[in-house]
Amino acid sequence: MRTPTIKTVRWAIFAVCLTAIYWPASPLFGDTPATVTAPRAKTKSPFELAYGNASPLANVIGRAADEAQDSATSGDLDAAKSQADAAFLLACAYGTDRDIDAFREAAFVRRLVHQIAMAQNDSRADLLAYLRAHPALAHTFVFAIKDRDNIINAYMLLDRLRKERPAQLERFSELATAICIVRNHPRHWFNEPGVQLADPLEVFDFYVSHERQMFYGLRGVPVELLIYVVDNPVSIDDMNWALNKYAGTRDIGSLFFTIEYDFDFFNGKARAKLETVPGGRTLPNILKVGGVCADQAYFATSVGKSIGIPSAWTDGNSAEAGHAWVGYLKSNGRSAAWDFDSGRYDDFQFVRGNVTDPQTGESLADSTVGLLSDLIGTSATQRQNAVALVDAARVWGAWGDANRTGDPPVFPPDVVTSKTARVPQPRMITAAGQLELVEMGLRQFADYPCGWAVVADLARDGKLSESQKHVWADLTQRMCGQKHVDFALSILDPMVETVADANEQSGLWDAIFKYVQSRSDLAADVRLRQARLWEKQDNLPRAGQCYEDVLQNYINTGPFALPALKGAESVLKKMGQESKVLELYAQTVKRVTKPEITSGRPEFIHESNWYKVRQAYADRLEAAGQKQLADEIRSEDEKG
């Protein structure tokens, strides 16, 4: 856990960063436009001005929330949804920083009634009654659910736990929630043949019974981290074996190298040793006979999960091949941070690592997962507040899109206690209103990815002004620095791509190029984006220069050769210089580096830039009538 001093400094830094919303000095967008909002003075909220110190909004929302839950309990789900939506929309329209609790409760009830409507009919009433009687568990569970989840099965698992593990469920609400949202349907996370996933309740029992042996414990560990523990792909027997042998191990990344590499299999000289031993792909067998990098990473991450350390099987592609390595939450005494360096060979230091989100199944950049370490030191309330306010930003935007010509929600007249009371003005039904809500959420938890994603979506939809792009691009860079550069680029992308002027957009890409140039994969990606920009503008010479930059400087650092080569070929043809295509391919073939291991395992060779570029060259030679030379290249490549 962070010390209070570190936590205080972190939030102080973020507070300074938020001032960039009003006084930015962005390397991307130049000087601040005059239209940027001036700093707001610390004044009383509209509710304080109208009604004194007690905001009426929380009371209104509280009554509406209770009514919505009562309607759901009685079985009138349509009324419950309508009431919950209305209460939340009221918070979106009028809520301020003073009404965070009201936001959270309104968001909770709205999520609850919409989610519970998907639960099975025969368990819905009992589940709802249980959740209302256990508010802490209910908030943890409801706020953890994502739209892409299998919500029906998640609630079915919760119902099983409610019936079969009632005492443990309340004590281990974070663990139970993580299991419900991760293991709610059969999944082979690593697609390992013959590995049967354990029953979710057996997994729950394993972790509960060994709570004291878990490296970080269980209670109080955020759900967002626990999902990287309970997605353990091995059997209960293997979990017990790993716990008995490795409990308390701090550096699980080093376990990657305790697995002997199966070179005979890699070189195509023999079957994989794991396929020849009784029992198959168990952790003891991997330790005994070894395997390739995928097995080494599988072993280390599975052991980590079994001893309570959030861990992630990670892979990526260099110019020569694919590779798997280890990501895990590494303890640094009183704090912890994600480490994605164990087993990550030199060729993969500057390429994106990919992690599968245990909850949704989507692919995440390792630097995005790295944001999760900042959860340590935050409270459940802070995280739920952030979720609620980002929900509000999305709902407010959707309501505005559906009611472009309509009036904003009306402040309920029943809260007006004086004829002279001034009813506050509703929030603007614009992107500015959404950004205000996002900003409130990020003040609660600065590293909440979904909050930043709302900003990116607004940019992608063309709803942000240039000044708004300016300030949020600057804040993105300040927040991410060089530590989470993949994530930063995903937020910056739509801000730049929606700049209409091609010269200005290209200049912004140049600025981003300087920001990411320490990462060859991202630098190459920026150049490819610039090339496509100029190609669309019919500025073919500039497009060709960008493609050529990739071919000259990044061809051997990642899987960029073929896209750049085909792009350059397209430019030459559009310029009427098709005769130069073969020369382009011949020069590229000379630049691309041959993999060190080029025999025995054609599936590895075929992943390399060397092979792909030469095969593309052979195709062009054959199309030009030089079939003999094309056949010679193909024959050489297959031999390695």
- Residues 157-168: what's their mean pLDDT? 95
Residue indicated by tokens 């940027």: 36
Strand pairing report for 354-356 and 336-339: unpaired
Taking CA atoms, 298 is separated from 272, 275, 293, in Å, by 15, 16, 8
pLDDT bin (cut points 50, 70, 90) of residue 587 is very high
| DSSP-assigned beta bridge partners for residue 310 | none
Average pLDDT, the chain: 83
Pure H helices in 403-465: 431-444, 449-460
Q: How many residues does the chain have?
A: 640
Q: Flag the least confident range among 79-83, 168-172, 191-195, 370-374.
A: 191-195
The whole-number pLDDT of residue 426 equals 80
Helix 540-553 to helix 520-536 angle, to the nearest 10 degrees? 160
Q: Is the pLDDT of residue 639 over 60?
A: yes
- Residues 471-477: what's their mean pLDDT? 89
pLDDT bin (cut points 50, 70, 90) of residue 16 is very low
Q: Is the pLDDT of residue 11 over 80?
A: no
The whole-number pLDDT of residue 114 equals 95
The whole-number pLDDT of residue 423 equals 55
Q: Would you give the end-to-end CA distance of the chain in angstroms?
A: 52
CA 561 to the chain's CA centroid? 27
CA dihedral 537, 541, 547, 551 (to 10 degrees): 180
pLDDT bin (cut points 50, 70, 90) of residue 143 is very high
- For residues 405 and 155, the model is more confident at 155
Q: Flag the least confident range among 172-186, 333-347, 410-424.
A: 410-424
Share of the chain above pLDDT 90, in %: 50
- For 538-558, letters b (16+ CB in 10 Å) and e give ebbebbbbbbbbbbeebbbbb
Residue indicated by tokens 């009632």: 166
Euclidean distance between CA atoms 26 and 476, whole angstroms: 10
| DSSP-assigned beta bridge partners for residue 465 | none
Q: Is the pLDDT of residue 241 over 60?
A: yes
Q: Is the pLDDT of residue 514 over 50?
A: yes
Q: Which part of the chain is CATH 1.25.40?
A: 501-640
Strand, helix or coil for residue 404: coil
Let me know how many helices (H) and strands (E) the chain has, helices first.
Answer: 30, 5
Global confidence as pTM: 0.82
Collect contacts of 578-582 with beta carbons under 8 A, ≥24 apart.
581/620, 582/620, 582/621, 582/624
The whole-number pLDDT of residue 351 equals 75
With beta carbons less than 8 A apart as the criterion, state whether 485 and 367 touch.
yes
Q: For 380, list phi and psi in degrees, rounded to 5.
A: -60, -35
The whole-number pLDDT of residue 65 equals 82
With CA atoms as reference, report the closest residue to 36 among 637, 329, 337, 466. Answer: 466
Fold of 197-361: C8orf32 fold (3.10.620)
Which option is the CATH number for 501-640: 1.10.4100, 1.25.40, 2.60.40, 1.10.490?
A: 1.25.40
- Residues 125-153: what's their mean pLDDT? 93
Q: Which part of the chain is CATH 3.10.620?
A: 197-361
The whole-number pLDDT of residue 365 equals 86
Strand pairing report for 322-331 and 363-365: unpaired
Neighbours of 417 (CB within 10 A): 10
